[in-house]
């Protein structure tokens, strides 16, 4: 059976970067495609989704499309108004997210109010639907078994664990370590700060545990993290720690910070001390990797 494929369409964090120093890894914001057995999952709708949309229109897949959104920060939804399949009656598109009071359906709709964009969501002609899930609730999309868990990041943000046969892919963008600031809002059950941080830390491990591939927020250098630990992002060293605990095989640095030149990202990669059994890569726009 063919191995699941992971394609990076956007790897930048926070804002798109049209800079020479970012050309190797790519300038578009978060969007990752997972393809297996003819089914397609899309992780986040940053600006990278525009180009993916062009490809999907040119080569329509046999099955409906599913978009899994981690949270509504702009770098994860700003490509949605430019996603061509959403405008085509030929496509069925389901947008999945964690259940939240401020519904994603309304947030995407707000993003396309007439003041900001020329076409409202209601006029997009695909068969568009929205699906919300509780934390940890397992759900199935074609051959994929999926769960979503809250992460320590400002507002309400979750990561996805995707089981594909014997392989697990974990998508953990965006996340701060659960050691310093509590950034997540509205956690169910009104936990104390300490309980909340413990729970959020366990969630990172649940997502990554025994994963074949983990895509993880490595936005900060250690020095940057010290200055901006309240921003909600992690370092490569923090990602390595989670992957070591989870016995992960492959780690992709993700949500790249445009303040760090690509050449420097590769230096971080080369100098990092990966635990035995873990291979570390930098997610690169346009690159496809097989989970095998």
Selected binder of Zn ion within 33, 44, 174, 285 (CB under 5 A):
174
- Find the DSSP H helices in 72-169: 74-77, 104-111
Closer of 87 and 160 to Zn ion (Cβ): 160
Nearer to Zn ion, 39 or 75 (CB): 75
Q: Smallest distance from the beta carbon of 232 to Zn ion, in angstroms? A: 6
Residue ranges of E strands in 209-287: 213-217, 250-254, 279-282
Please report how close the Cβ of residue 152 comes to Zn ion at its closest, in angstroms.
11
- Is the Cβ of residue 14 or residue 112 nearer to Zn ion in the bound state? 14
**Which residues lie below 8 Å from residue 162, measured CB to CB, with a gap of 6+?**
34, 41, 144, 145, 146, 168, 169, 170, 171
262 belongs to the binding site for Zn ion (CB under 5 A) = no
Smaller CB separation from Zn ion, 73 or 268: 73
For the window 92-131, what string marks contact with Zn ion as x by the rule CB under 5 A?
Answer: ----------------------------------------
73 scored as a contact of Zn ion (CB under 5 A) = yes
CA-nearest of 118, 116, 182 to 155 is 182
212 interacts with Zn ion by CB under 5 A: no
Query: DSSP string spanning 23-66?
Result: TTT-SPBSEEEEEETTEEEEE--STTHHHHHHHHHHS--SS-EE
> How much is the CA Rg of the chain, to the nearest whole Å?
18
Based on CB atoms, which residue is closest to Zn ion, 174 or 291? 174
167 makes contact with Zn ion (CB under 5 A): no
Q: Is 217 in the site for Zn ion (CB under 5 A)?
A: no
Answer yes or no whether residue 51 interacts with Zn ion by CB under 5 A.
Answer: no
Minimum Å distance from CB 291 to Zn ion? 23
CA separation for the pair 215, 159 (Å, rounded): 10
* Residue 75 binds Zn ion, judged by CB under 5 A: yes
73 vs 256, beta carbon nearer Zn ion: 73
* 199-213: burial string, b at 16+ Cβ within 10 Å, e else: bbbebbebbbbebbb
Q: How far is the CB of 256 from Zn ion (least distance, A)?
A: 11
Look up residue 150 and give its two tokens.
Answer: 């809250």
What whole-number distance in Å separates Cα of residue 72 and Cα of residue 232?
A: 14
- Three-class DSSP category at 253: strand
Least distance CB 77 / Zn ion (angstroms): 10
Site for Zn ion contains 12 (CB under 5 A): no
CB of 157 to Zn ion, least distance (A): 6
Chain residues that interact with Zn ion, rule: CB under 5 A: 13, 73, 75, 174
């Amino acid at each position: 059976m063919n191995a699941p494929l992971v394609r990076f369409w956007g790897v930048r964090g926070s804002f798109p970067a049209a800079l020479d120093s970012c050309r190797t890894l790519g300038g578009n914001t978060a969007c990752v495609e997972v393809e297996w057995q003819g089914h397609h999952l899309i992780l986040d709708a940053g600006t990278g989704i525009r180009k993916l949309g062009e490809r999907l229109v040119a080569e329509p897949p046999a099955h409906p499309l599913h978009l899994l959104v981690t949270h509504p920060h702009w770098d994860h939804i700003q490509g949605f108004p430019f996603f061509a399949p959403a405008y085509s009656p030929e496509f069925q598109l389901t947008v999945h997210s964690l259940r939240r009071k401020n519904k994603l359906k309304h947030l995407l709709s707000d993003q396309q109010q007439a003041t900001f964009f020329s076409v409202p969501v209601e006029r997009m002609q695909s068969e568009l639907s929205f699906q919300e899930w509780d934390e940890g609730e397992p759900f199935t999309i074609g051959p994929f078994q999926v769960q979503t868990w809250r992460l320590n990041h400002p507002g309400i943000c979750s990561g996805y664990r995707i089981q594909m046969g014997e392989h697990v892919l974990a998508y953990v963008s965006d996340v701060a370590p659960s050691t310093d600031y509590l950034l997540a809002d509205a956690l169910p059950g009104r936990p104390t700060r300490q309980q909340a941080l413990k729970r959020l830390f366990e969630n990172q491990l649940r997502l990554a545990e025994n994963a074949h591939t983990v895509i993880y927020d490595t936005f900060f250098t250690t020095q940057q993290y010290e200055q901006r630990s309240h921003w909600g992002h992690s370092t490569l060293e923090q990602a390595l720690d989670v992957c070591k605990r989870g016995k992960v095989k492959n780690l992709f640095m993700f949500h790249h910070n445009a303040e760090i030149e690509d050449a420097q990202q590769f230096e971080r990669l080369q100098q990092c001390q990966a635990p035995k059994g873990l291979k570390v890569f930098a997610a690169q726009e346009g690159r496809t990797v097989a989970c095998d």
